[in-house]
Structure 1
Amino acid sequence: MGNPDDLERRFTLLTAAARYDTLRTREALAPPEEEDEAGSPSIDQDAKPLTREEALELLALGEVIARKASYGRQLTVRSARRAGASWSQIGAALGTTKQAAWEAHQRWIDEQARHQSEGHWGWDGDEVTAARALAGEPEEREAVE
């Protein structure tokens, strides 16, 4: 089965999502262990329920997908800032406020620095400084956009 850390190294976002989709579809189509009160039949009588290991893998893959998507989101936030997007625009694109978007990005920068200090791939002091400069501050009053 593996834990999310192991699976994160083995799968890309696309391969994790494909495996997740395969297991999730099988789970949805399989007959329930016990029929519900209405006695509703399963969609696919030939589908086999997930094993314990597969159910745990499905949970771990969900975590891997969330981690990889979150990392990709913050890389895209950097791209948007580099292209001149304001924090209001970024917040709107994420369905949140400019302050919440900026704070999430600051936490991500902190995490990149922490990884470096723990002996993993991460950012050194110059890279963190550059990332913070690019992020700037959430503007109090923004120019007309």
Structure 2
Amino acid sequence: MPTPNELEHQFTLVTAVARYDALRAREALAPSADEDDSALEPPAPGAEPLTRGEALELLALGEVIARKASYGRQLSVRSARTAGASWSQIGAALGTSKQAAWEAHNRWIDEQAKQPQHPGHWGWDESDLAAARALAGEPEDEDTE
């Protein structure tokens, strides 16, 4: 059974989405178990029900996509801050408050600080962390926009 941690290293966001989409389409096209006539006709090509392994892979890929999208979101937040965006603007772009956007970004920074503790991850050094925290600033320090 594939786990998100295993698949995360095998797939990029684009390839994970492509595989997820292919499995999800098959799942949607496959006859449901409660259809009366499903036993009479074989499923159309490409509409076979998912195997147990594929169904579990679909679940794990959903988690991989969420993780990779979240990481990409925080890189974009950092880019927006570098470009001069306020936390109010970032919060609006994310459909949340400036405080919630700032807190999520700071949790991400904290996670980057922990990465060197995990084998195979390089993480950030103290200088990188200080620069990231300085760029993040405080949402209360900004004028309301």
So what's the TM-score if we normalise by structure 1? 0.89
Q: 1:133 to 1:140 in 2, by over 3 A?
A: closer
Aligned: 1:134 with 2:135: yes
Alignment-derived partner of residue 63 in structure 1: 63
Structure 2 letter corresponding to 1:131: A
Distance 1:140 1:128 in 2: 20
1:143, distance to aligned residue in structure 2 (A) = 5.6
Structure 1 letter corresponding to 2:60: A
Distance 1:17 1:83 in 2: 29
Root-mean-square deviation (CA, aligned residues, Å) is 1.8
Determine which structure has the larger helix proportion and give its number: 2
Alignment-derived partner of residue 2 in structure 1: 2
Partner SS, residue 139 of structure 1: helix
Distance 2:115 2:11 in 1: 20
Distance 2:51 2:134 in 1: 49
Alignment-derived partner of residue 124 in structure 1: 125
Q: 1:70 to 1:40 in 2, by over 3 A?
A: farther
Distance 1:40 1:24 in 2: 22
1:87, distance to aligned residue in structure 2 (A) = 0.1
Gaps of 5+ in 1: none
Gaps of 5+ in 2: none
Matches within 5 A, 1:1-145: 1-35=1-35, 45-46=43-44, 47-119=47-119, 120-139=121-140, 141-142=142-143, 144=145
Structure 1 letter corresponding to 2:132: A
1:121, distance to aligned residue in structure 2 (A) = 2.0
Number of residues of Structure 1 aligned to a counterpart in Structure 2: 139
Structure 1 letter corresponding to 2:136: A
Deviations 1:98-125 (A, max 9, x none): 0000000000000000112334221111
Q: Percent identity?
A: 71
Q: Bigger shift: 54-63 or 132-141?
A: 132-141
1:141, distance to aligned residue in structure 2 (A) = 5.0
Distance 1:99 1:124 in 2: 26
Whether the aligned pair in 1 keeps the contact of 2:88 and 2:144 (CA below 8 Å) is no
Structure 2 letter corresponding to 1:81: R
